[in-house]
A and B are shown apart, each in its own frame.
Chain A
Amino acid sequence: MSKNLRINKNNFIDQTTRISFKFNGQKLFGYKGDTLASALLANNIHLVGRSFKYHRPRGIMTCGSEEPNAIVQIGNDPSLTDPNVRATEIELYEGLDASSQNCWPSVNFDIGGINNFLSPLLPAGFYYKTFMWPASFWEKYEYFIRHSAGLGKAPTKSDPDIYDHQYSHCDVLVVGGGISGIISAKLSAEKGLDTILIDDKSFLGGSTIYQENECYKINSVNSNKWLANEIESLKNYPNLLIKNRTSLAAFHGYNYLLARENLTDHLSINEKKGKVRQRLWKIRAKKVIIASGSIERPLIFSNNDRPGIILSSSIKKYIDYYGVKTGENISLFTNNDSAYETAISLYKSGVKVNVIVDIRKNSDSLIVKEALELGLKVLWESTVVDTQGYKRIKSFEVMKLSDDGNNVVGDRSKYNCDCLGISGGWTPMVHLFTQSGGKLKFRNDDNVFIPDENKTPSNQISVGSCNGEFKLNEIVVNTIENLKSFLSLSNSCYDGIKIICPDEKSKRNIWLLPSDKPIGKTKPFLDFQNDSTAKDVKLALREGFKSIEHVKRYTTTGMGTDQGKLSNMHALGIIADTTGTNMGELGTTTFRPPYTPLTFGAIVGRNVGEFFDHTRKTAIHNWHVKNKAEFENVGQWKRPWYFPKNGENMHQAVQRESKAARDSAGILDASTLGKIDIQGTDASEFLNRIYTNAWSKLEIGKCRYGLMLNEDGMVYDDGVTTRLGENHYIMTTTTGGAANVLSKMEDYLQTEWPELDVYLTTVTDQYSTISICGPNSKKILAKIVPGLDLSDNNFPHMSFKNTKISNVNCRIMRISFTGEHSYEINIQSNYAEDVWIKCMEAGKEYNLTPYGTETMHLLRAEKGFIITGQDTDGTLTPSDLQMDWIIGKKKFDFIGKRSLYRSDTIREDRKQLVGLLTEDPKEVLEEGAQLVENINKKPIEMLGHVTSSYFSPNLNKSIALAVVKSGKKLKGKKLIVPMENKNINVTITDTVFYDKENKRLNA
């Protein structure tokens, strides 16, 4: 039975609503408003996990996002569990099931704890030094290292929760709901600006809202009461949106920010169902006010990591906000006044404060005086040198500091305790400021990095303690004054505000507190999550690492899920002290987004499952689905790949489809091809410049194949363009190239050739394209458009006709990508499915066979037609493709022309497109396979690779296209395709395998 350390005093927790939860299988109770951490502490549970490297027992150390130790696994289903959740941030809900991480078999008895005893053998850089030799053993080491790496267990099933995204625009975004954030939000809203205030907690007010000390007054009212009234007044501003439980993750340039809102993490399991768990806000703000506050620093002394050692300000929050005692015999260790506020709060709550150890010589500030008047015992100019207790601190030892603070003097005094509060001063949270591109400056007086006002990106400001203002009067007055200028306010509702607060008069900072033992015999932890100690940092310096970035990576200080929020400043301080450098000159490590970890779900939002990628469908898609097509992704299009019948596999289906297309008729949905309508008096000249061949003399009603190059002379896209009128063309592009071709052409028109009278309009989706090919295609078409004269004289190859199918206008092109007599029907998409069905009905007697992209590839390969992007890769010229015929040598210019005459592009040993036949006609080559001449010559010279490869049922043999060095000259040459288990002999051939005389085009 655990103790109940709850006190019945506070306004913040709903002590009427009891919540049950489980921790490590034990059923416990807390209250609505608790975090997991406060509920565990209320149950007197401090030991929550084990450290990463040494598996030392670790407890709750903070009350916020900076928590390094209390990270837990949520959920009892290993397939859906959520790792690395900070117990200090997750709100308690009915049914919460949490367990400790990085321990086995339990957090109380962890086999890995043996590492702690081996720690002298595991210094910084242990892995780098140890696993270097013998090199051949690496794979064995790797198995064990990988096995022990990482914190927590990743779920094995896909995340069932729902996440989404939301864009938002505002005049002012205020980040942080502490006192400076509240003032900022009110001033902004008061001015009528659209304002968003975000705060990661479930409540507003920061630490001031539970600061009940009489020493802090605003306008003669206790600061907490004044602030509560201000928060209440925010409700009066309809232009102010307040988002609680929303944590700013990233601050990008030009005031683009990402924030994660937790919507259901605090609800019971039943209440969560069907609701969005987290929402990622994508905010564009005209101005940003950072009021992210500061976090308390720990103190660095030997064994400062035991469960029960907690930041002093967190102890105060647990008692004042959650009504939870973190112990029953508490001592404090500090270098500043804020621990005295904690002591007073504890005293007033009836908790015994045994002793306050203060490294300063004295302090006569108001708050210290109040503590002394309450009878609290203070050990001035002293330091804690060690602590005892394995799973919970039991005692600590104190020694007197020397005058210079470098050593300790006298004897050790031992004090019993069950909780030790530590306070090493305050660190402004400048992460967001630096993420946005702001630069920091170092303030020597109190050893803080603060935003440099001269190096702050425009339209943002830092206010409050994140700007290095720690006293209440400084925070309030400076925030108001700075915002008057930032928001262009002539006056404000806060003018004349009066603040009373204690003044901290004495300061002393020692980054690494001295001990009577040599550092090698102590364990002063710097980075609690990664088990990095002060001696690790010193070792790194001795081994030559000088840059803070290098020390970070060598010692792992500042890494992990907390990103060194507690450790970075001390690491810098110790480096500065050891090397005799000013901290300001050392700089900081880079603060990268996210500020606190983001779930993958929040990043991805609804782009999962069917929304993972876009799906473009043709107008005939539903027919393909009904007819059991297998689909292939081509760009974002879903294209029928093949139409299996009676359990056929792809090979069988493709063989059947391609044979049918050659023997009788095949039908293909070619709607995905890009289509661009080109109009204007200079349309012909435009095409002359875009394509390599000539267009001016193309007759109206005729089609022509064109090849488009990049400026470097390499093939970019291809397609057939049809002249519809004197100044009117329709261009087809490849499926994948459509958008880029349009952009490129529009770019040329607007920037290079503005003198041309040409207009481009995409009509890819306007028209569906149905291609019918094969010797019976003419007969089928004749049934669909009975009035159209399909004779070769009237409708020759490479021409088009305007006609009607039923009541709908259409264009029929007689063009072929298969080498067969073919027609392409272009019809408005909303009528295309009906036309397709008509074609199928008309073609029934001719075994009209629908085919997909795989058969299309095979048929065109038999004819040696290239597919841009498959047989080309941006490094081939038309000449390399043996398509010199398409270059208009008399043309004045076209894109890429000049590059075709560079010394490199006219080299004869460039890779060139060739055909390949295998020695064994049944052997089908793998696309991408390399081609070599001499297998025994080392290193083997790679001559080229296979670009397309199929088994042709029409030729009854395997065929392939390839690019080979000097390929044009190598016809008849035998080469080898070395595969994993065999070498395949091939012969270089012409690229055209089928119907070289093109007789079938007019068959």
Chain B
Amino acid sequence: MLNFNSPIKEEKKYNDLKIVEIEPTIKINLRSNKREFSTKIGRILSILPPNEANTSSGNENYNLLWLSPDEWLVYSNNINHTLDNQIELENNLFNEISKLNQGAVTNVSDHWVMINLKGSKTFDLLSKSCPFNFKDFKNKKGSVVQTVLNHVDVIIHNKDENDLNLFVRRSFSEDLWLWINDSARFI
């Protein structure tokens, strides 16, 4: 058995802020501009891909984030999913979408690292190095933004009040984790 080796493996607590890497998480990138795509996704995931920009849909098992008019990111809520679950979902989607020329399904589970930020100081932290205006975002559960944090590309999903999931590319994740912990000292 190969060992799963995520890059951060830490949890940190500051005043009114908790940050933790949540891995392993299944993440699959979906791309399509075909009509049947939504139906197929709905059948497999039991959720429909959102059409409204910067929003998400979700259920108990999965979240589906809008990334562009023909691109979405699925990620699982359950961190107890095994590698086999990951492969099963990927294959399921790939066979229904990619193989039938209904779009593209790409496993990005290890491409992105998911970091959860929770607490009333969450947005204070982000505003230290993120030019995005979170005013409407933070009041709308399920909103999604693709922006930069300390100049690093990130996707942020508003899970709940002051409870965000942040996705950063694996190669940048340690660098961003250091920055987050450094900046958290000053909020």
Q: Interface residues, chain B, CB within 8 Å of chain A?
A: 1-7, 23-24, 29, 31-32, 70, 83, 87, 98-99, 101, 103-112, 127-133, 135, 150-152, 169-172, 174-175, 178-179, 182-183, 186
Interface membership of A194, Cβ < 8 A: yes
Known: A167-B128, A284-B133, A616-B171. A766 touches B109 (CB 8 A): yes
Is the CB–CB distance between A828 and B108 below 8 Å?
no
Is the CB–CB distance between B183 and A765 below 8 Å?
no
Report the separation of the CA atoms of residues A757 and B101 in the bound assembly, to the nearest whole angstrom. 9
CB distance from B55 to the nearest CB of A (A): 20
Is the CB–CB distance between A765 and B133 below 8 Å?
no
Give A160-203 as 1s and 0s: 1 = Cβ < 8 Å from B's Cβ atoms.
00101111110000000000000000000000001000000000
Is the CB–CB distance between B174 and A759 below 8 Å?
no
Report the separation of the CA atoms of residues A764 and B112 in the bound assembly, to the nearest whole angstrom. 10
Which of A167, A679, A829, A834 has a CB less than 8 Å from the CB of B131?
Answer: A167
Which of B2, B5, B179 has a CB less than 8 Å from the CB of A806?
Answer: B2
Interface membership of A830, Cβ < 8 A: yes
Task: Closest B residue to A833 by CB, please name it.
Answer: B5
Interface membership of A817, Cβ < 8 A: no
Interface of B is mostly: loop
Q: List 21 A-B contacts (CB under 8 A).
A: A162-B186, A164-B128, A164-B183, A168-B127, A614-B172, A637-B171, A677-B106, A679-B98, A679-B104, A681-B101, A759-B32, A759-B103, A765-B111, A766-B108, A766-B109, A766-B111, A808-B83, A828-B109, A829-B111, A829-B170, A830-B5
Known: A168-B127, A614-B152. A835 touches B111 (CB 8 A): no
Interface membership of A394, Cβ < 8 A: no
Q: Interface residues, chain A, CB within 8 Å of chain B?
A: 162, 164-169, 194, 276, 282, 284, 606, 610-611, 614-619, 637, 677, 679-681, 725, 727-728, 757, 759-767, 805-809, 828-835, 838
> Which chain B residues lie closer than 8 Å to A282 at the CB level?
131
> Which chain B residues lie closer than 8 Å to A833 at the CB level?
3, 5
Task: Closest A residue to B131 by CB, please name it.
Answer: A167
Report the separation of the CA atoms of residues A616 and B170 in the bound assembly, to the nearest whole angstrom. 8
Across chains A and B, the number of contacting residue pairs, with CB separation under 8 Å, is 136
Is the CB–CB distance between A616 and B175 below 8 Å?
yes
Is the CB–CB distance between B178 and A617 below 8 Å?
no
> Which chain B residues lie closer than 8 Å to A164 at the CB level?
128, 183, 186
Is the CB–CB distance between A805 and B175 below 8 Å?
no
Task: Closest A residue to B101 by CB, please name it.
Answer: A681
Known: A618-B171, A806-B2. A761 touches B106 (CB 8 A): yes
Report the separation of the CA atoms of residues A147 and B186 in the bound assembly, to the nearest whole angstrom. 40
Is the CB–CB distance between B171 and A606 below 8 Å?
no
Task: Closest B residue to A828 by CB, please name it.
Answer: B110
Is the CB–CB distance between B106 and A763 below 8 Å?
yes
CB distance from B121 to the nearest CB of A (A): 13
Report the separation of the CA atoms of residues A233 and B40 in the bound assembly, to the nearest whole angstrom. 59
Is the CB–CB distance between B129 and A165 below 8 Å?
yes
CB distance from B3 to the nearest CB of A (A): 5
Is the CB–CB distance between A808 and B171 below 8 Å?
no
Task: Closest A residue to B168 by CB, please name it.
Answer: A765
Which of B7, B99, B105 has a CB less than 8 Å from the CB of A619?
Answer: B7
> Which chain A residues lie closer than 8 Å to B101 at the CB level?
680-681, 727, 757
Beyond contacts A165-B128, A759-B104: 11 other A-B pairs, Cβ-Cβ < 8 A, are: A162-B186, A282-B131, A606-B183, A611-B178, A611-B179, A618-B171, A679-B98, A759-B31, A764-B169, A833-B5, A838-B2
Report the separation of the CA atoms of residues A30 and B33 in the bound assembly, to the nearest whole angstrom. 72
CB distance from A215 to the nearest CB of B (A): 45
CB distance from A721 to the nearest CB of B (A): 16
Task: Closest A residue to B31 by CB, please name it.
Answer: A759
Is the CB–CB distance between A766 and B110 below 8 Å?
yes
> Which chain A residues lie closer than 8 Å to B172 at the CB level?
614, 616
> Which chain B residues lie closer than 8 Å to A809 at the CB level?
87
> Which chain B residues lie closer than 8 Å to A194 at the CB level?
135
Report the separation of the CA atoms of residues A610 and B182 in the bound assembly, to the nearest whole angstrom. 11
CB distance from A200 to the nearest CB of B (A): 22
Is the CB–CB distance between B1 and A167 below 8 Å?
no
Is the CB–CB distance between A680 and B104 below 8 Å?
yes
In the A-B complex, the 10 residue pairs with the smallest Cβ-Cβ separation, listed nearest first, are: A759-B104, A679-B104, A766-B111, A759-B31, A616-B171, A169-B133, A829-B110, A765-B170, A761-B106, A765-B111
Is the CB–CB distance between A761 and B104 below 8 Å?
yes
> Which chain A residues lie closer than 8 Å to B70 at the CB level?
759
Known: A757-B101, A763-B111. A617 touches B174 (CB 8 A): yes
